[in-house]
Amino acid sequence: MSEAYSTDIAVIGAGIAGAGIAAALALEHDVLLLEQEDQPGYHSTGRSAAIFIQNYGNDVIRTLSRASAPLFAGADAVLFPAPLLKRRGILFVTDEAGRAKHEQLLEMATGLEEITADKAVALVPLLKREWIAAAAYEADAMDIDVAALHQGWLKGAKRDGARLLTGAAPGKGKHSHGRWMLETAAGAVTARIVVNAAGAWADRVAAACGVAPLGLVPMRRSMAVLPAPEGFDIRDWPLVAETADNWYFKPDGGRLLVSPADEDPVEPHDAFVDDMVLAEGLYRYEQAVRSPVTRVETSWAGLRTFAPDGTPVVGFDAGAEGFFWLAGQGGYGIQTAPALSRLAADMLGDTTPPELATVAGAMSPSRLR
């Protein structure tokens, strides 16, 4: 017979969003973290090659990223004994076809240095000099230790009393007499507040609870793992991104991670690579580099979920008492997670830091109704 669970706050989804807000809330609230898989972070969080980039996303994303930087640097040394950020740098390059988008990037950017094609090739000798029409470099881009961040928050949440329930795929939910009653595969759950941090499944969770969906769209992002190109020392290379978002690559553990930067709308599922999409992306990548792709060691895909306007959805649903959204982080969920977790926890408690009040308003679910 399934167990029954009672809690103050039920957080649906134990990826980076759910783990972050659980860690922020657990000291002052009874928190139950519900994960549909057998382990937290199985989907998007566990498949992220995250990097902290200042010049990424819209104004809300950039504000959250700036607010996250000191939180990454000043993270709890007990939970995070090693630095969460490591300098990587990012090199933006484009051919003539992408020059207009490159100019737009430079106009919006902070801390981005326009450099010559010769300097770009000096940074990454794999690039074809003749292909490059323009280049720019951001020295402060950082690798993020996603696993350490996620596991640290889960440990912190557990230390402060939160409970984690895996294999707890959510079913129907209803609100009555000030409490939510949720059906899950692991048993019935009652809670005063439900936090919908279900990533690609967030709209489905809402619908199962009788809450109107917001039009969140999961999009597939694919990655190929290539052997290091022969004759090149890739260890100190920055991440290289084609400015118009047709591909990017990043050194990782002596290999190259190459993505076609795909954003194909899909249904929520255990994402897998579309071979044609990957092949087309690798072809675009090959046009800019001196070493052809001869072998793909492995590949994977993950889901990044976007709201219609590209801004995360955070806050209570005006039409459903005690139902709180924390979803739609798109491709920015890891780098904005420190600030977004704290802000969401504050908003849940009906307080908002003054410096983030405008951002909080921009993320309200009401804007999408």
Rounded average pLDDT over 81-91? 96
Residue 357: per-residue pLDDT:
87
Asked if the model's pLDDT at residue 211 lies above 80, the reply is yes
Q: In sequence order, which residues have a C-beta less than 8 Å from that of residue 203 and are 6 or more positions away?
A: 213, 214, 215, 216
Which pLDDT does position 207 carry in this prediction? 98
Q: Is the pLDDT of residue 326 over 90?
A: yes
Q: What distances in angstroms separate CA 66 from CA 53, 62, 149, one per listed residue?
A: 10, 6, 17
Provide the CATH number for the domain formed by 90-139+217-306 in this structure: 3.30.9.10
CATH number of 3-64+146-215+309-368: 3.50.50.60
Residue 348 in contact with residue 195, Cβ under 8 Å?
yes
pLDDT above 70 as % of the chain: 98
Output the pLDDT for position 44: 67
Q: Closest by alpha carbon to 182, among 3, 10, 8, 2?
A: 10
The mean-pLDDT minimum among 106-110, 145-149, 177-181, 258-262 falls in: 106-110
pLDDT value of residue 47: 66
Region for 350 from its dihedrals, namely left if φ exceeds 0, alpha if ψ lies in -120 to 50, beta otherwise: left
Residue 31: phi, psi to the nearest 5? -120, 135
The residue ranking higher by pLDDT, 165 or 354, is 165
Q: What is the pLDDT of residue 301?
A: 95
Q: Give CA–CA dist 171/182, Å, rounded.
A: 7
Residue 220 class from Cβ within 10 Å (0-12 exposed, 13-18 middle, 19+ buried)? buried
Question: pLDDT-based confidence at 366, cuts 50/70/90?
Answer: very high
Tens of pLDDT, residues 23-65: 999 999 999 999 999 999 877 665 676 789 888 889 999 999 9
Residues 60-77 as b/e (b if ≥16 CB within 10 A, e otherwise) read: bbbbbbebbbeebeebee
Residue 1 has pLDDT above 60, yes or no: no
Task: Kindly report whether the global pTM for this prediction surpasses the value 0.85.
Answer: yes
171-180 average pLDDT score = 97
Where in the sequence of the chain do the CATH 3.30.9.10 domains occur?
Answer: 90-139+217-306
For the chain, the residue count is: 369
Start-end of CATH 3.50.50.60 domains in the chain: 3-64+146-215+309-368
Token code pair at residue 92:
């933006």
With a cut of 50, say whether residue 355 has pLDDT above it: yes
